[in-house]
Structure 1
Amino acid sequence: MFKTLIAGALVAGLATPAFAADVTLRLAHFAAETHPGHVAAQQFAERVAERTNGAIEVEIYPANELGSPPEQLEQTVLGAIDMNLPTQGGLDKYEKAFGTVMTPFAFRDYAHAHEVLDGPFNDWVAPLLEEQGLVLLSNWEYGFRNITNSVRPINTPEDVAGLKLRTPPELQIVAAVEGLGASATQIAFPELPNALNQGVVDGQENPIGVIYHFKLDEFQDHLAVTRHVYNSMVHVINKNVWDGLTPEQQTIIREESVAAGTLMREMVQAQEEDELAKLEERGMQITRPDLAPFAAKVGPARDRVAEYTGRENMDRFLSFLD
């Protein structure tokens, strides 16, 4: 009942609520229950409850239980859901600066991405996001994206040319695969296994963890470690909900968000090689191409991303990469 009243007040645009001593926060995300994102969310919930002596309970809704990723994020902006874990591809619908993160071949490795996102990028975008009604708590992880297909192994950019690949609707990912000569087709993720099985598309692209946990190897013969786009889950909370917490509660939530993000980063990186080995054991053929020729072909794709995000935003982001 309490949550219903709070959500109704926020949607109606009323004043920031004064929370009672016991607070229940709903955290929705898109990751599978076996994925490191959900494991990190569970740690976050457990530690927040422990450190607040049970005053704050975090209810977790994984695997799109409360709607598709765009729907979850919209509900978080409105306050019907308290916290969410969107990627930059979701957040850039509210603030274009986030879209720069998914520039093709922007980051050298995980350490480079984390250094940029946790430092100058956060300093830049966090205030912009608050104007949209969200508070950025911390960056978690999702990973570098890689191409799978059922036609041929990929060792050069020319091997990508002509493939029909499923992508999410984010322009940056579409631009990356089209820049490599493939055609991009948007298919909702829940429909992807069937589309791969029926040959509607030749392949798809996702982080290693997604390919492994959703068993896409059952429909795909080849995986190329292309690392063409990086993005991460971003832990956000509705600003009205945040403002209704005490300073002590805010400190605990932010600290445990950072700790959960650190756990997810460690898990994703540690598990990737193991997951690749297991995918190979299950019959997938894996290639690790030289990525320099791939990066050299996506100049036009970067221009498309700059048109989408705004050239000024792109120039500022690129200045963080050095």
Structure 2
Amino acid sequence: MTLDTLGKRLLTGIAFAALFAGAAPAQEVLRFSHTDNPGGSRQAAAEVFAEKVSEYTEGRYEVRIFPAGQLANDPKAIEQLQLGGIDFTVSATGSYATHLPSLNLTAMPFLVDTYEQGWELYDNSEWLQGEFEKLPEKGFRVLSTWEAGFRSFTTNEPLEGPADAENMKMRVFPNDMIRWTMEEIGFQTVVMPITDVYLAIQQGTVNGQENPVDTINSLRFFEVAPYITLTRHVYSPLPLTVAEATWQEFSDEDKDAVQRAADEAAAFSRDLVKNSVDQQLEEMKAAGATVSVPEIGPFREAVAPVYDKAKEVYGAEAVDKILSDAAAIREAMPGS
């Protein structure tokens, strides 16, 4: 027997041994893009999701995570879902409004007061669930809602009330409701991707930005805009979405597995963010940030015209429905 023949027989034997030992087939790679830094809560929840997808599909799929905008900023990532460039992303609800404008209404100011109220709104609002059901025809679907928290300000000058905003430029993402809210408070608004914001504040292009505490901490905005003003003006969770083309390629069994992983990652995300805020604020204060809680009344009064503007653009019926859902939740869960 030649050495070549012996080698082939050995390789064949190894292959059969692997087969009978139950070796798993090659994994299919699924690409997950997000804009949070590697140490942030989105990355932590994405890692849970990836681990659970692998576990529940018995290793048939590997979710490969690309953090910090490596593949795309938030709007581009959503476009990539539609085009097949990526399989998953997680972003603020308003980011998806480019493709379904009614989702802008979720960014109306002061809809809910607590995390628990926000969870109830996103999980059980009849209006919002109906809007989510329209997204597959846009090329992606919502699997679950992860947490980011309530949006507040970081600025390079103190912000005690709307009067201070009149001399400031505020970065906003491309969302009408957020822009209207900022303008009613008194800011000049500048639209830009979140990946450009740190440098823009550092260079003086804008005076600040508004995001949940978790994002402020993860992206280190407090280093260049050290005045953190906790207005909590918009509840801003993060729907996890999957490309509809990818979803339709899954077997029913794998759809159930991916959905289960998404739900468990959402529960992890909600618990992590809610219970991390106080610690994150203390860490930012220790690093030199100034944290303040302003009188909220003047901010609420300043943004009141936003609701009427929303009715003009999106229709009174839709606005009244989500306001009604939110009011009922606040009444049923006061203070949560």
* 2:70 aligned with 1:47: no
**Structure 1 residue 86: deviation in Å?**
2.6
User: Which residue pairs with 1:60 in the alignment?
Assistant: 65
* 2:127 aligned with 1:113: no
The one-letter code matched in structure 2 to 1:130 is P
Query: The residue matched to 1:228 in structure 2 has which SS?
Result: strand
User: Which residue pairs with 1:137 in the alignment?
Assistant: 143
The one-letter code matched in structure 1 to 2:152 is N
The one-letter code matched in structure 2 to 1:150 is N
* 2:270 aligned with 1:265: yes
CA contact (8 A) 1:40 1:260 kept: yes
The TM-score, its normalising length taken from structure 1, stands at 0.87
The one-letter code matched in structure 1 to 2:246 is V
In structure 2, what is the Cα distance between the partners aligned to 1:270 and 1:261?
14
The TM-score, its normalising length taken from structure 2, stands at 0.84
User: Which residue pairs with 1:172 in the alignment?
Assistant: 177
User: Which residue pairs with 1:188 in the alignment?
Assistant: 193
Q: Which moved more, 1:183-192 or 1:33-42?
A: 183-192
1:288-299, aligned counterparts within 5 Å?
288-299=293-304
CA distances 1:175-230 after superposition (whole Å, capped 9, x unpaired) = 11211112212233333222222323222211112221222222223111011122
Query: Which residue of 71, 75, 81 corresponds with 1:76?
Result: 81
- Aligned in 2, Cα 1:78/1:212: closer, same or farther, shift over 3 Å? same
Q: Which moved more, 1:183-192 or 1:84-93?
A: 183-192
- Aligned in 2, Cα 1:159/1:141: closer, same or farther, shift over 3 Å? same
* 2:196 aligned with 1:214: no
Query: The residue matched to 1:142 in structure 2 has which SS?
Result: coil
User: Which residue pairs with 2:17 in the alignment?
Assistant: none
In structure 2, what is the Cα distance between the partners aligned to 1:318 and 1:248?
38
In structure 2, what is the Cα distance between the partners aligned to 1:126 and 1:23?
27
Query: The residue matched to 2:260 in structure 1 has which SS?
Result: helix
Which ranges of structure 1 fall in alignment gaps of 5 or more residues? 1-19
Which ranges of structure 2 fall in alignment gaps of 5 or more residues? 1-24, 329-336
User: Which residue pairs with 1:150 in the alignment?
Assistant: 156
- Aligned in 2, Cα 1:189/1:91: closer, same or farther, shift over 3 Å? closer
The count of aligned residue pairs is: 302
Query: The residue matched to 1:289 in structure 2 has which SS?
Result: coil
Percent identical among aligned pairs is 28
User: Which residue pairs with 1:35 in the alignment?
Assistant: 40
CA RMSD of aligned residues (A): 1.9
* 2:118 aligned with 1:127: no
**Structure 1 residue 36: deviation in Å?**
0.6
User: Which residue pairs with 1:283 in the alignment?
Assistant: 288
User: Which residue pairs with 1:243 in the alignment?
Assistant: 248
